[in-house]
Chains A and B, each alone.
Chain A
Amino acid sequence: MSKDTLILAIESSCDETAAAVVKNGREVLSNVISSQIALHTLYGGVVPEIASRKHMEAINQVIEQALKEAKVTLDDIDAIGVTYGPGLVGALLVGLTAAKAIAYATDKPLVGVHHIEGHISANFIENKELEPPFMCLVVSGGHTHLVKVKDYGEYEILGRTRDDAAGEAFDKVARAVGLGYPGGPKIDKEAKNGNKHAIEFPRANIEGAPYDFSFSGLKSAVLNYINQCEMKNIEINRPDLVASFQNAVVESLVTRAIKAAKEFGMDKIAIAGGVASNTALREEISKRCKENNIEFYHPSPILCTDNAAMIGAAAYYEYIKGTRHGLDLNAIPNLKLGER
């Protein structure tokens, strides 16, 4: 490559306002994240209107900081990458509208990115040797997808959740046992002191869709267990309970990922999304990959959470493929992966 390509990337699909500068899709020059999580904790979850308002407060500062930390100016940037879905529409619109305005004012190309494509691409940043094809398990508060990454920007969704996303199940169970929001990290920590085989919770299998997930039955089983203990006046061992729940989630995720990799002859599995930071998931999938001679890839926690560096990585590969979006690009809250 004769010249480096710099992408200014912007992400605001949920409760983090983020901007980053990424060089050639793999090198992060800056990665600024302004999190609103403390605020939403007051409400037990993300409040869309509050999230949108906070994005307005943070957006310019975050972008300016990203350029400053990367020691570049807008003049050095080749294209603007931005998440345009899926996510909360009001939240998406703030980052998208600012991105369009910057692209327009500077006559630079605009590249819209799918949020999940960003999560998957987070793996390219720290694993310079990773190239498609590979199997990717995307797990977050809003998404649970098993994706065959055929090439850069080319995806086939093999399985998805039929009801709750894995992260959502973590949040709901955490609330039920009094651990609070956000549930993922709190359950992860509490489960470390528990026995994951203490309680046998059901693992759902969906007929005719071997790679689809379902967590609502599991969530109900946990809630029933809590109710029964309360009725019988039995004290609940919280670490055991959440460890057993977490194990059931991890089992369903890992089993399907390994099975899919084998069926499609892939020797690489990557994980992505907020729940990819979960230590039990990482340990289990790493172990099972080793047993099956599969190479395992994962981003560090800062790149698992919502961030713009991953959007910059995804935007770079879209950019070199020629993807360009117009000034009329709209936020699409239920955007499908691979849809243009």
Chain B
Amino acid sequence: MLVLGIESSSMVASVAIISDEKIICEYTINNKKTHSQTILPMIDEMIKMSEIDKKDIDAIAVSGGPGSFTGLRIGGALAKGLGFALNIPLIHVKTLEGMAFQLYGTKELIVPIMDAKRNQVYTGIYENENEFKVIKEQTPQDIEELIQELNQTGRKVTFLGDGIFCYKDIIEEKCKVEYTFAPSHCNMPRAASVAALGLKMYNEGNYQNASEFLPDYLRVSQAERERNERLKHGNN
């Protein structure tokens, strides 16, 4: 079983191919370039170098959101096109779960935080000591509110994701439980982790047809939000 993983929800462009036993290849660029220009050539390069026939890929695991709306669509549309043309299923991996899944064997709470602007983060709370568990589903949340919630658990926390850079000061100031920031080799979204969780989900029967796949933005567009506000106040 070969799974292609695609992760383009943030500035990180990452692709990987894994089998049941191992990561066969992974290619990650975390250095500001448009995913539209890089991600498919990255897949092509990876497939050539590892001498895999793309027709042998059995499923595609995609980081399905939240994240950059455009980034999610580039990864999603790519997976939809590949899935359709290769006639293989897609696995929708929640972005925050894909990030948390790479930390294994820890007793701590795993808390990925992605910058969602306006003092908000996209976050979720996970455990992965022996078995991956979702303690809190991914959601947009005010960073201070999240810290309060973590303080109440009384448990030690590992933070990861780009939010640890922009909200470091707030965390240092407000976080009362013991915490660490994951080191750089396991603090960003990575396609191998998306593919590995995707493979697990696939084996649990959790996959879909390419035409059914849609990103989960976790936020409506600004225009919808403003319209909903207007409707709520009764002046359309």
In the assembled complex, the Cα of A43 lies from the Cα of B222 at a distance in Å of 12
Q: Mark A64-75, 1 if CB is under 8 A from B, else 0.
A: 100000000010
B73 with A97: CB separation less than 8 A? yes
Shortest A36–chain B CB gap in Å is: 13
A105 with B85: CB separation less than 8 A? yes
Of A229-237, A244-252, A327-335, the stretch lying at the interface with chain B is A327-335
In the assembled complex, the Cα of A101 lies from the Cα of B8 at a distance in Å of 15
Give residues of chain A (91-145) contacting chain B, Cβ–Cβ below 8 Å: 93-102, 104-106
A97 with B211: CB separation less than 8 A? no
Shortest B85–chain A CB gap in Å is: 4
B78 with A97: CB separation less than 8 A? yes
In the assembled complex, the Cα of A47 lies from the Cα of B221 at a distance in Å of 9
Question: Does A50 lie at the interface of the complex (its beta carbon under 8 Å from any beta carbon of B)?
Answer: yes
Question: Does B145 lie at the interface of the complex (its beta carbon under 8 Å from any beta carbon of A)?
Answer: no
B69 with A90: CB separation less than 8 A? yes
Question: Does B136 lie at the interface of the complex (its beta carbon under 8 Å from any beta carbon of A)?
Answer: no
Tell me the interface secondary structure of chain B in the complex.
helix
Inter-chain contacts of B37 with A (CB < 8 A):
328-330
Question: Does A57 lie at the interface of the complex (its beta carbon under 8 Å from any beta carbon of B)?
Answer: yes
Inter-chain contacts of A64 with B (CB < 8 A):
84, 211
Shortest A186–chain B CB gap in Å is: 20
Shortest A80–chain B CB gap in Å is: 10
Inter-chain contacts of B79 with A (CB < 8 A):
101
B211 with A328: CB separation less than 8 A? no
Number of A-B contacts (CB under 8 A): 101
Q: Which residue of B lies closest to A327 (CB)?
A: B40
Question: Does B206 lie at the interface of the complex (its beta carbon under 8 Å from any beta carbon of A)?
Answer: no
Q: Contact residue range for chain A?
A: 35 or more
In the assembled complex, the Cα of A104 lies from the Cα of B42 at a distance in Å of 12
Question: Does A228 lie at the interface of the complex (its beta carbon under 8 Å from any beta carbon of B)?
Answer: no
Inter-chain contacts of B69 with A (CB < 8 A):
49, 52, 90
B223 with A47: CB separation less than 8 A? yes
Question: Does A176 lie at the interface of the complex (its beta carbon under 8 Å from any beta carbon of B)?
Answer: no
B73 with A90: CB separation less than 8 A? yes
In the assembled complex, the Cα of A74 lies from the Cα of B211 at a distance in Å of 16
Q: Which residue of A lies closest to B226 (CB)?
A: A43
B82 with A104: CB separation less than 8 A? yes
Question: Does B44 lie at the interface of the complex (its beta carbon under 8 Å from any beta carbon of A)?
Answer: yes
Tell me whether A50 and B224 are in contact in the complex, defined as CB-CB below 8 angstroms, given that A96-B36, A97-B36, A328-B38 are known contacts: yes
In the assembled complex, the Cα of A15 lies from the Cα of B42 at a distance in Å of 30
Shortest A44–chain B CB gap in Å is: 10
Inter-chain contacts of A102 with B (CB < 8 A):
81-82, 84-85
In the assembled complex, the Cα of A105 lies from the Cα of B78 at a distance in Å of 10
Inter-chain contacts of A43 with B (CB < 8 A):
223, 227
Shortest A39–chain B CB gap in Å is: 10
Tell me whether A60 and B41 are in contact in the complex, defined as CB-CB below 8 angstroms, given that A49-B221, A100-B78, A101-B82 are known contacts: no
Question: Does A59 lie at the interface of the complex (its beta carbon under 8 Å from any beta carbon of B)?
Answer: yes
B82 with A105: CB separation less than 8 A? yes
Question: Does A150 lie at the interface of the complex (its beta carbon under 8 Å from any beta carbon of B)?
Answer: no
Q: Which residue of A lies closest to B217 (CB)?
A: A53
Inter-chain contacts of B84 with A (CB < 8 A):
60, 63-64, 98, 102
In the assembled complex, the Cα of A95 lies from the Cα of B36 at a distance in Å of 12
- Which B residues contact A (CB, under 8 angstroms)? 34, 36-38, 40-41, 43-44, 54, 69-70, 73-74, 76-82, 84-86, 210-211, 214-215, 217, 221-224, 227
Q: Give 21 pairs: A residue, B residue, CB < 8 Å, sorted on A.
A: A42-B227, A47-B223, A50-B221, A56-B80, A59-B77, A60-B80, A63-B84, A93-B73, A93-B74, A97-B40, A98-B84, A100-B81, A101-B77, A101-B78, A101-B80, A101-B85, A102-B85, A104-B43, A104-B54, A105-B54, A328-B40
Apart from A63-B84, A90-B73, A93-B36, 11 more pairs, CB < 8 Å: A49-B223, A50-B221, A59-B77, A93-B73, A94-B73, A97-B77, A97-B81, A101-B77, A102-B85, A105-B86, A326-B41
6 smallest beta-carbon distances between A and B, as pairs: A101-B81, A105-B85, A60-B211, A97-B77, A49-B221, A98-B81
